[in-house]
Amino acid sequence: MSVREVTARGIIVARRSAGEGSVRISIYTDSLGLVSALAKSAREERSKLRPHLQVGTTGVFVLVKGRDVWRVIGATKTENSHFALSGNTKAQEVTARVITIVRQFIRGEGSDPYLFSALFGFFRIIPSIDEEYVLEAECIVVLRVLAALGYVREDPIMKLFLDISYDMPTLKAVRESRGTLVRLINEAISESGL
């Protein structure tokens, strides 16, 4: 039996208890896409993985493919968006909504570099975005996720915002076109049937 070990950047999008002291997480990775993985004893206080496996955590994760399941055996360079945004309730709510969109629309394994870069970039940059532009950042990342998955119809305004950047000129441009972008996002969500 061959052991397959993968080290990948990822974002924890779901977490639930699994048996005595273990945790099952859903992690969206750069090389595998969405993976469900088991972390043995990760709920126990002595676990070194415990603080690294919270929903909203980005970092580098080491996964091993067993016969039936992926297992998490390591995590480094992690940052949890909820804790990084302490004191910024609006940004915490935005990251929670983005995680919900990811859980709702992304299914199964399969790498998509553009989609991963859009999500990972969002989670890494959101702590440094001014609170008044947090909703614009949410608008961009949701648009990019839905566009990458093929749910957003072609629109000349939309194409301007598909670049990976979350810089201030992009956020200001989103503010000016927000009504159109929100309409495109709502149409995509409605037409998806999910």
Averaged pLDDT in 10-residue chunks for the chain of 194 residues: 80 88 90 89 76 89 90 90 82 91 83 89 89 91 89 77 82 88 87 75
pLDDT, position 3: 56
Dihedral in degrees, nearest 10, Cα atoms 37, 16, 51, 72: -10
pLDDT, position 1: 46
In this structure, the answer to whether residues 28 and 62 fall within a common structural domain is yes
In this structure, the answer to whether residues 106 and 174 fall within a common structural domain is yes
In this structure, the answer to whether residues 187 and 163 fall within a common structural domain is yes
- How far apart are alpha carbons 127 and 85 in whole angstroms? 6
What values do phi and psi take at 67, rounded to 5?
-65, -45
At which of 32, 58, 81 does a domain end? 81
In this structure, the answer to whether residues 69 and 88 fall within a common structural domain is no
Q: Which residues lie closer than 8 Å to 37 by C-beta, 6 or more apart?
A: 24, 25, 26, 27, 63, 69, 70, 71, 72
Tell me which residue of 13, 127, 125, 10 sits closest to 59, measured CA to CA: 10
At which of 47, 81, 115 does a domain end? 81
In this structure, the answer to whether residues 41 and 88 fall within a common structural domain is no
CATH of the domain at 19: 2.40.50.140
Number of domains in the chain: 2
Type of residue at 64 = V
pTM of the model: 0.85
Helix (DSSP H) and strand (DSSP E) numbers for the chain:
6, 5
In this structure, the answer to whether residues 55 and 101 fall within a common structural domain is no
- How far apart are alpha carbons 27 and 145 in whole angstroms? 16
Contact indicator for 55, 14 with CB cutoff of 8 Å: yes
Q: Which sign, positive or negative, has the C-alpha torsion 130, 131, 136, 142? A: positive
Domain limits at 72? 4-81
In this structure, the answer to whether residues 89 and 123 fall within a common structural domain is yes
